[in-house]
Amino acid sequence: MRSDAHCMFGEGFDEIIISQMKDNWIVTPRRYFLDPEKWQMIDIPPVDYEKLVTQTIGKSKKFTGFPCQNPAGENLKIDKTMAMQGSVWFMPKKWWKNVIKELQTEGYGPLLQDSHEMVFKTWQAGGELMVNKNTWFAHKHVGFPRMHQYSTEEAEPCLQYSYEKWKDYYYTEVKPKWKKYLS
């Protein structure tokens, strides 16, 4: 499991995720929004699904997860999702050791695109990214100050690196598979 420091969790969230996880999954819980000053959830609907899209930031392109709806999965408690924020995830240790191995820092830099790197590697190995709506976490809402001082200018080359590394796979394999999800 990995978690940002500015997250709050549902009771027993870890046991729920682990008991329902398969060997080739990365799993993220349903995501709510946190007021880190009051340490309370903000009354905003949760994010269950994200689509993976490309976005231009400054002069660079990057992959980003964009919250979306999936009416077909509305009643499913565990379902596939195309992207995750990356602030909380679980995977079996064996999957990490055999498939992810380690996160690459050269080119990517710190704190950038790690969720996308893991998900692309997982898909290439036949695994899935799943959202488990049986439990939840709340992540610091974007309206509060950042917890790091990594500037957009510093991030741009790292974002572009990730885009260049994975763009062919994204456009030839991922996007066609998720075409329905992206519309």
For residue 5, the model assigns a pLDDT of: 86
Q: Give domain limits for the chain.
A: 2-182
Rounded to the nearest 10 degrees, what angle do helices 114-124 and 152-169 cross at? 10
Which has more confidence, 77 or 149?
A: 77
pLDDT value for 179? 85
Instruction: Give me the long-range contacts of 151-156 (CB less than 8 A, separation at least 24).
Output: 152/57, 152/58, 153/58, 154/109, 155/57, 155/109, 155/112, 156/57, 156/58, 156/59, 156/60
Per the CB < 8 A criterion, the answer to whether 64 and 119 are in contact is no
Report the pLDDT value the prediction gives residue 174, as an integer from 0 to 100.
95
Has residue 146 got a pLDDT over 70?
A: no
The tokens of 77 are what? 């408690």
DSSP-derived pairing of the beta strands 128-140 and 25-35: parallel
* Topology of the domain covering 2-182: Spore Coat Polysaccharide Biosynthesis Protein SpsA; Chain A (3.90.550)
Confidence of residue 170 (pLDDT cuts 50, 70, 90): very high
Half-sphere exposure (Cβ direction) of 135: Cα atoms closer than 13 Å:
22
Residue 172 DSSP class: I
pLDDT value, residue 157: 87
Which helix (H) or strand (E) segment holds residue 167: the answer is helix 152-169
- Whether 145 has a pLDDT exceeding 70, the answer reads no
pLDDT value at 150 more than 80: no
Average pLDDT over residues 148-177: 87
Per-residue pLDDT for 148 more than 60?
no
Look over the chain and give the mean of its residue pLDDT values, rounded to a whole number: 91
Q: What is the pTM of this model?
A: 0.92
Task: Encode pLDDT of 44-87 as tens digits.
Answer: 999 999 999 999 988 889 999 999 999 889 999 999 999 998 89
pLDDT at 113 (0 to 100):
83
